[in-house]
RNA sequence: GCUCCCGUAGCUCAGGGGAUAGAGCAUUCGCCUCCUAAGCGAAGGGCCGCACGUUCGAUUCGUGCCGGGAGCGCCA
């Protein structure tokens, strides 16, 4: 049930009836809530096209709308606005229809198969704050796509095949470390050490590169060491993503694309796309219309090792054969935009995106950086990269401090559980309340505050609703039919529900979870005002009380669905 | 240097050819004998970076400039 679509259809039909083009009938949410709920500005551009007074056109259309019971007022205003107010009866009926529907009349789209690539952690490296955004934004997009009816496959796409593996293997060799006995903690220490050494020690860097090439070319001993490292790492990664509440359908890595890489090279060779350059193999991906310099994409380094673009192509081929998707989404850092432009072009040139009649759409949805208060990428106090587990630990610890200030009776276990949920919500909403593509500043105090656009604010709203509903159940007071709103607060709340459908479609179109956040804060704010101004259980009028309870139930269902789309859990108390 | 993104209230950010540009925080002032006050209300606060252009109309579109960020073949 998309109110904007419905109203646009209605008004467009009236424009047509008056001899104008349907496209002028677009209805938007009013920019002047004091005057109306919805508005149509189409008479203004129509006036130009048809050389008429816009107010006259608006009047012609408005006249045809008179008598439509959905509206309590249909007015025109200079220079040519059509202003619409929904009637209280219609609002109540609409809410009743939503409540009667399992998915609240929220839209289902035409089903597509979508692979979402939103992890990208490196094996042998602990998760750090840089992995947070990909995980929670990707997870939210995954949930949203699935909710809207698509078939979605989430793939973590671990980096387990590149130079970082060679670095770790070379470092372990140098130390004489036993791969079979290596622990997660060892790995967490080995990689940074190896990475640092490769920058100053040229011989070591060369050795690491050689080990990378050997791994990729199937050296059995190296492969055995590699497998050990990988297995240990994966268990750590599963724990890390588990703590975030982020799941994947496939725990594939670059190595799983390895069998496809020779085929990718064959395809490129057959198409005559491979070219030697400075001892390396490259594909030219520049187009005549390019405004920026577009260097060729590197497929094989001069030492014979593959680079990540190569494995990305192999992965694409794997996804095509395993899932035959309509779309493949890459949720990664902004800084990889250029890389993906190259890969996507190369894939298109190779013809590997063609699948029957359709062409697989590869789409990169980049996101900005999480910065510290200094506006620079978030670091620990000593300037190092902060581990994700440390970040989560400190957020949950701070959340627990807040939960412990609450005088609501809760057991220790309940407090810890609430703190975990509040902390994770603070992280997720703190991140996703901003548009995906923007950088934002990580501010724990602000994210954990109960006032403002925060996770805890949204959770608190749901908690107090559920508290009332629980009391109603205990007192055996049943919800009833939603009555037409009698007050502004009630009407405002009812008006927020029809906006959800449009918000979800916009969030999906832009791949922007922030649009889901916006509508959540809108509903929560309106509800909290309603809650403050009205008695519910103490309401003396029985049918009014039943109506308000139904309104609480409906609000709770909207909040629950929307929060779940963002991966936010609701504690039982707080 | 070239390419892309961004510049909106003291701060963090929405919005986007049309009416009086919106939230949240912060500040000030109010609201619990009552369903969770981790809540609600009110007030102040803006040359929408600058200039030119397109348009009946520009904060929104275009061009240039200034300021910030990122990227530009053997890392991922």
Could you tell me the distance in Å between the CA of residue A315 and the C1' of nucleotide B35? 55
- A201's torsion region: left (phi>0), alpha (psi -120 to 50) or beta? beta
**pLDDT score recorded for residue A2:** 85
CATH homologous superfamily for the domain A388-565 = Isoleucyl-tRNA Synthetase; Domain 1 (1.10.730.10)
**pLDDT score recorded for residue A162:** 85
Q: What is the ipTM for the molecules in this complex? A: 0.95
Nearest protein residue, CA measured to C1' of B18? A41
Could you tell me the distance in Å between the CA of residue A371 and the C1' of nucleotide B8? 21
Both tokens of A19, joined, read: 């001899």
Both tokens of A79, joined, read: 């220079």
> Which nucleotide is the nearest neighbour of A512, by CA and C1'?
B14
Partners of residue A39 on adjacent β-strands: A28, A83
Q: What architecture is domain A3-86?
A: 2-Layer Sandwich (3.30)
User: Which residue bears the tokens 């979870």?
Assistant: A513
DSSP state, residue A85: E
Instruction: Name the segment(s) of chain A with CATH classification 1.10.730.10.
Output: 388-565
Is the pLDDT at A176 greater than 90? The verdict is: no
Can you tell me the distance from the alpha carbon of A396 to that of A571, in angstroms, rounded to the nearest whole number?
14
> Which nucleotide is the nearest neighbour of A82, by CA and C1'?
B19
**pLDDT score recorded for residue A484:** 97
DSSP state, residue A247: -
**pLDDT score recorded for residue A181:** 86
> Which nucleotide is the nearest neighbour of A75, by CA and C1'?
B19
Is the pLDDT at A378 greater than 90? The verdict is: no
Can you tell me the distance from the alpha carbon of A481 to that of A96, in angstroms, rounded to the nearest whole number?
7
Q: What is the pLDDT of residues A558-571, one digit of tens each?
A: 999 999 999 999 99
pTM, two decimal places: 0.95
Is the pLDDT at A345 greater than 80? The verdict is: yes
**pLDDT score recorded for residue A516:** 96
Helical pair A513-533 and A412-432, crossing angle rounded to 10 deg: 120
pLDDT-derived band at A196, boundaries 50, 70, 90: confident
Instruction: Name the segment(s) of chain A with CATH classification 3.40.50.620.
Output: 113-160+249-364
Could you tell me the distance in Å between the CA of residue A267 and the C1' of nucleotide B74? 22
User: Which residue bears the tokens 């832009």?
Assistant: A510
**pLDDT score recorded for residue A177:** 82
Q: What is the pLDDT of residues A152-170, one digit of tens each?
A: 999 999 999 888 899 999 9
> Which nucleotide is the nearest neighbour of A408, by CA and C1'?
B36
The string over A467-496, giving b where at least 16 C-beta atoms fall within 10 Å of a residue's C-beta and e elsewhere, is ebbeebeeeebebeebbbbeeebbbbbbbb
Helix or strand (DSSP H, E) at A155: strand A151-155
Could you tell me the distance in Å between the CA of residue A483 and the C1' of nucleotide B36? 26
**pLDDT score recorded for residue A216:** 86
Residue A341: closest CA among A285, A272, A300, A284: A285
**pLDDT score recorded for residue A242:** 95
Helix or strand (DSSP H, E) at A113: strand A113-117
Which nucleotides of strand B lie under 7 Å from a protein CB? Answer: 1-6, 12-15, 18-20, 22-26, 34-41, 56-57, 69-76
Can you tell me the distance from the alpha carbon of A68 to that of A66, in angstroms, rounded to the nearest whole number?
6
Residue A208: closest CA among A217, A218, A197: A197
Domain A113-160+249-364 has CATH 1.20.1080.10: no
Could you tell me the distance in Å between the CA of residue A125 and the C1' of nucleotide B8? 41
Could you tell me the distance in Å between the CA of residue A506 and the C1' of nucleotide B17? 20
- Strand A38-40 vs strand A81-86: parallel, antiparallel, or unpaired? antiparallel
> Which nucleotide is the nearest neighbour of A430, by CA and C1'?
B12
Q: What is the pLDDT of residues A106-146, one digit of tens each?
A: 999 999 999 999 988 988 888 988 899 999 999 999 999 99
Is the pLDDT at A73 greater than 90? The verdict is: yes
pLDDT-derived band at A488, boundaries 50, 70, 90: very high
Determine contact, residues A389/A355, Cβ cutoff 8 Å: no
């Amino acid at each position: 049930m998309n109110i904007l679509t419905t109203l646009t259809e209605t008004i467009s039909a009236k424009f047509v009836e008056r001899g104008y083009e349907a496209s002028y009938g677009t209805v938007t949410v009013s920019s002047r809530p004091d005057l109306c709920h919805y508005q149509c500005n189409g008479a203004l551009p129509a006036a130009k096209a048809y050389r008429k007074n816009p107010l006259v056109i608006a009047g012609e259309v408005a006249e045809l709308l008179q008598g439509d019971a959905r509206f309590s007022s249909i007015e025109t205003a200079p220079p040519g606005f059509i202003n619409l107010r929904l009637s209280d009866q219609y609002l109540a009926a609409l809410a009743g229809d939503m409540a009667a529907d399992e998915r609240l009349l929220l839209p289902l789209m035409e089903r597509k198969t979508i692979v979402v690539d939103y992890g990208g952690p490196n094996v042998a490296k602990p998760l750090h704050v840089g992995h947070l955004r990909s995980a929670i934004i990707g997870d939210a997009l995954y949930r949203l796509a699935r909710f809207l009816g698509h078939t979605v496959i989430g793939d973590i796409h671990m980096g387990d095949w590149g130079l970082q593996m060679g670095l770790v293997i070379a470092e372990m060799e140098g130390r004489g470390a036993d791969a079979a006995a290596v622990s997660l903690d060892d790995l967490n220490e080995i990689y940074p050490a190896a990475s640092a050494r490769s920058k100053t020690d040229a011989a070591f860097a060369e050795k690491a590169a050689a080990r990378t090439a050997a791994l990729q070319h199937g050296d059995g001993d190296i492969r055995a060491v590699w497998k050990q490292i990988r297995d240990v790492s994966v268990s750590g990664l599963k724990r890390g993503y588990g703590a975030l509440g982020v799941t994947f359908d496939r725990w594939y890595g670059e190595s799983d694309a390895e069998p496809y890489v020779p085929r990718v090279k064959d395809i490129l060779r057959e198409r005559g796309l491979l070219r030697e350059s400075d001892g390396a193999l490259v594909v030219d991906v520049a187009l005549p219309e390019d405004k920026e310099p577009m260097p060729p994409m590197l497929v094989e380094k001069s030492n014979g090792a593959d680079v990540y673009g190569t494995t990305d192509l192999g992965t694409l081929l794997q996804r095509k054969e395993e899932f035959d998707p309509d779309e493949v989404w890459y949720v990664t850092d902004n800084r990889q935009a250029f890389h993906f432009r190259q890969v996507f072009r190369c894939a298109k040139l190779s013809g590997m995106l063609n699948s029957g009649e359709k062409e697989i759409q590869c789409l990169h949805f980049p996101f900005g950086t999480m910065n510290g208060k200094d506006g620079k990428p978030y670091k620990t106090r000593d300037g190092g990269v902060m581990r994700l587990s440390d970040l989560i630990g400190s957020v949950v610890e701070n959340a627990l401090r807040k939960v412990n200030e609450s005088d609501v009776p809760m057991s220790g276990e309940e407090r810890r559980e609430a703190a975990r949920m509040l902390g994770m919500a603070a992280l997720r909403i703190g991140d996703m309340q901003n548009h995906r593509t923007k950088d934002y500043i990580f501010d724990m105090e602000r994210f954990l505050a109960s006032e403002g656009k925060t996770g805890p604010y949204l959770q608190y709203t749901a908690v107090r609703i559920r508290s009332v509903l629980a009391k109603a159940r205990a007192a055996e007071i049943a919800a009833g039919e939603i009555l037409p709103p009698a007050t502004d607060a009630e009407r405002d709340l009812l008006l927020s529900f029809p906006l959800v459908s449009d918000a979800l479609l916009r969030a999906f179109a832009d791949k922007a979870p922030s649009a889901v956040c916006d509508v959540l804060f809108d509903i929560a704010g309106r509800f909290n005002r309603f809650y403050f101004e009205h008695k519910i259980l103490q309401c003396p009028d029985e049918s009014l009380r039943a109506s308000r309870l139904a309104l609480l139930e409906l609000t709770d269902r909207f909040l629950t669905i929307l929060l779940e789309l963002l991966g936010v859990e609701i504690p039982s108390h707080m």
